[in-house]
Amino acid sequence: MRRAGGFTLIELVVVITVMGILSVGAVSFITDASDGYANTVRRTELGSTMRLAAERVTRELRNALPNSVRVAGNCLEFIPVEGGSAYLNLPVSIASNAFDVAAPIDAAMNGTRVAVFPDSTSAVYSLTDPGVVSPPAAFAAPDASNVVRVALATAHRFPFESPERRFFMVRSPISYCVDQNRLWRYQNYGFNVTQPTVAALPTSMPGRGLIGEGLTTAFSPVHDR
């Protein structure tokens, strides 16, 4: 006798079981593929952020005062150089509030400090008298002989002459710090003999600016179900 068309209960159970196994495998494959794509996107975004941050830090470090770069904890600090020239005379033996340098000097440099022979990191951050870094300076217009008179805010003397009679015009230190997975740039906080930590640096604009975020020391994929 021929059996009527249809499935037996056993056949139906077998089909459901096989389909369930195939479904689990398919869902797992799709989930892994989605997670892999999401991780790739996150890695790409993090890489782009770090490339931009590294380029900015590198560009600024190229103009750092010699021996001013120092690192402590998650912070890097340096003193930016705005310009430089040769001096004609320099107060070394006796403190003075003026000396002469060679033109040209941009008038926009008024308010910068003068640094001569920065021989050590501790010396460039110590605003002592005598000291490597002077008080704020103002630069007069060049005279007929292209000599520029430098007027210091207070009398000062430098500890050493420069072998090449060269000086640098510098501004206040700048720091880059990683804090809570974010890279910040700090400025306008002044000179400190001891390198400041994040807690001692500005907490808002314009003293602090965000450079990048989402930074981690190790990448850990997160699966969103």
List 137's β-bridge partners, or say none.
152
Yes or no: say if 183 and 175 are a contact pair by the CB < 8 Å rule: no
Is pLDDT above 50 for 220?
no
DSSP H helices, the chain, are 9-61, 121-124
Query: What is the reported pLDDT for 5?
Result: 58
Q: What is the pLDDT of residues 74-85, one digit of tens each?
A: 999 999 999 999
Query: What is the reported pLDDT for 39?
Result: 66
Is pLDDT above 50 for 141?
yes
Which amino acid is it at 55? E
Q: What is the pLDDT of residues 153-186, one digit of tens each?
A: 999 999 999 999 999 999 999 999 999 888 999 9
CA 184 – CA 211 distance, rounded (Å)? 5
Cα–Cα distances in angstroms (integers) from residue 147 to residues 82, 102, 105, 107, 122, in the given order? 19, 5, 10, 14, 32
CA 53 to chain centre: 7
CA 140 – CA 179 distance, rounded (Å)? 42
Whether cis (ω within 30° of 0) applies to the bond prior to 202 is: no
Res. 224 pLDDT band, cuts 50 70 90: very low
Report pTM: 0.75
Q: What are phi and psi of 56, to 5 degrees?
A: -70, -45
